Structure 1
Amino acid sequence: MIEVYIDGASKGNPGPSGAGVFIKGIPQPVQLSMPLGIMSNHEAECRSLLIALQYCLEHNFKVVSFRTDSQLVERALEKQYVKNKNFLPLLEEAFRLVEQFDLFFIKWIPSSQNKVADELARRAILQNEQR
């Protein structure tokens, strides 16, 4: 099964933000570091999920297990609910993408187990600042 580690980060809240995605369980692991512009940390976490979902679908990865250190993202997908209505369009987009997988799991993990995705997200913040 393909394992997808995601993380979003912001320097300030809101501030310059980035998404990190690390995919393993494939012959050549993938590392994505995407600058996101100015947004909140929670929005960056949600955006990292969408980026990873889209990447997996574009590459025909249909059986995936996602890992995140964001309880907001994990709970929103598991309970299909967000308190902050600003995140509702992001959650709806995530559900639309998740429906296209044959098998999709998401699991919360501690930050200590998500270091690669975290580093990729932090690297993306710097890419914002270099623009």
Structure 2
Amino acid sequence: MQLYTDAATSPTDQHSAAGILLVNDGQQHQFKQILPTSDNHTAEFLAAIAGFKTLLDQFGPNQAVFFFTDSKIVAESVSKAYSKNFAVELQTLLHLQDQCQVVITRWIPESQNHGAHQLAQQGLHL
């Protein structure tokens, strides 16, 4: 299972949305979701949380997951299991990841996260 997440935040009003792309057995499942008003870093954590909630709701626990994010702060925080400024969001994310069999988190450049990025942009206009 591959999970790609991204957040988009409108600079004018701080509205945010998540783009979630799940790839399972070659099949793509696309989701977009409005997030609480926040700054972009918080929105990236909230998008990752939404992604894992969606994965667990759609496919159940005990999945082996490759998690891709273009947010360095999310990827590094998960890797270290520590974040000074996003401790609550990180703990929520780690709790969701613990329900999976294994999670391998990878940072990818924005250019390789186009699907989730497009979904997040579309989510801003819901």
Q: TM-score, normalised by structure 1?
A: 0.88
Listed as ranges, the gaps of 5+ residues in structure 2 are: none
RMSD: 1.5
2:15–2:36 Cα contact (<8 Å) kept: yes
2:66–2:105 Cα contact (<8 Å) kept: yes
How many angstroms does 1:73 deviate by?
0.4
How many angstroms does 1:57 deviate by?
1.6
Judge which range, 55-64 or 30-39, deviates more.
Answer: 55-64
Q: TM-score, normalised by structure 2?
A: 0.91
Letter of the 1:60 partner, please give it. G
Identity %: 30
Name the structure 2 match of 1:8.
7
Name the structure 2 match of 1:105.
104
In structure 2, distance between residues paired with 1:40 and 1:16 = 9
Size of the aligned set, in residue pairs, is 124
In structure 2, distance between residues paired with 1:81 and 1:114 = 24
In structure 1, distance between residues paired with 2:84 and 2:12 = 18
Any residues of structure 2 matched to 1:14-33 within 5 Å, and which?
A: 15-26=14-25, 28-33=27-32
How many angstroms does 1:9 deviate by?
1.2
How many angstroms does 1:37 deviate by?
3.8
Listed as ranges, the gaps of 5+ residues in structure 1 are: none
In structure 1, distance between residues paired with 2:113 and 2:81 = 23
2:49–2:92 Cα contact (<8 Å) kept: yes
How many angstroms does 1:95 deviate by?
1.2
How many angstroms does 1:28 deviate by?
3.4
In structure 1, distance between residues paired with 2:12 and 2:81 = 25
In structure 2, distance between residues paired with 1:104 and 1:54 = 14
Any residues of structure 2 matched to 1:64-79 within 5 Å, and which?
A: 64-79=65-80
1:14–1:39 Cα contact (<8 Å) kept: no
Name the structure 2 match of 1:60.
60
1:9–1:18 Cα contact (<8 Å) kept: yes
2:17–2:32 Cα contact (<8 Å) kept: yes
